[in-house]
Chain A
């Protein structure tokens, strides 16, 4: 039986960037990507953190590039459509409960 010792390199620097997806209904799926590097600058890992922003939700605490996207994508029409959809969902739940 062979055992392999698992070692973990300690990152000395990180680079953060943002990307994601914009859905047709205006939902912005934000993916924060953190590239981890060792002391020599070699990439030793990558980590993702995700969250979503629906039209009508507050995005004031987002990064500037995400704010810029939401400002364009979250149009008054998409915000009102989303509110109407959520209200319809809520009413449907009340009728069936």
Chain B
């Protein structure tokens, strides 16, 4: 049997309003619904929704006049990962500091100049850039690994990613050869390779080709 409970001196039901007692909240118990066709919903503000309350799922077919959003979209500091292909589950931006070495593991590293990189992570896509500059590559067997990426690259077998480079300095390379970067799957570094367009082969950049004052702008993206 449907029922209306009326309690308290100041609570009332009128033609256009359901009003609780002053200082209290009108509660719709779990399993009960307040139904309407939506045509009368003209104003909904944060003050109308009590803490801990949630809005029902929006029906896409009814979204014909969404209001403009003038604020921010904030994600939690710690990602709440989703495996759904249509769900955006993370956003983060920050900095990283490239280190230059001849191997992925421990070993001698180049003395870096004022090097800074930036990253933005959107979902599983990581966009990076950096200006990499050294002041000495003494002791390095090769000048080919840029370490300390902000995130590890995905371990998916097809997750290898190409990073573009431009505007280098201090490089002893011949015309027709180009330096490009590669982030291998399941790693946290970028390999610099010299592509020889005349011969059609590439090799890891050597310390002969990257001199003490070598520098390079890098930019690209990869997946985590």
Contact = CB atoms under 8 A, between A and B. Distances in A.
A binds B: yes
Interface of A: 19, 23, 25, 27, 29, 31, 33, 47-54, 56-58, 83, 85-86, 89, 97
A96 B217 CA distance: 27
The range of chain B's interface size is 20 to 34
Interface of B: 77-78, 92-97, 104-106, 119, 147-152, 155, 184, 186-188, 201-203
A52 B149 CA distance: 6
Give the dominant DSSP class at B's interface.
Answer: loop
B104 to A, nearest CB: 6
Contacts of A58: 106
Given A49-B95, A51-B96, A23 B152 contact: yes
Contacts of A49: 94-97
A50 B188 CA distance: 11
Nearest to A51: B148
Nearest to B188: A52
A86 B104 contact: yes
Nearest to A52: B188
Contact of A57 (B95, B106, B201): B106
A56 B119 contact: no
Contacts of A50: 94-96, 119, 150-151
A83 B107 CA distance: 14
B80 to A, nearest CB: 13
A51 B95 CA distance: 9
Choose among A25, A53, A57, A86 the residue with the greatest number of B CB atoms under 10 Å from its CB: A57
Contacts of B202: 97
A47 B104 CA distance: 27
B151 A52 contact: yes
Contacts of B77: 33
Choose among A23, A25, A50, A58 the residue with the greatest number of B CB atoms under 10 Å from its CB: A50
Contact of B104 (A19, A33, A54, A97): A54
Contacts of B105: 54, 56-57, 83, 86
7 contacts: A49-B96, A51-B96, A51-B150, A52-B188, A57-B104, A58-B106, A97-B202
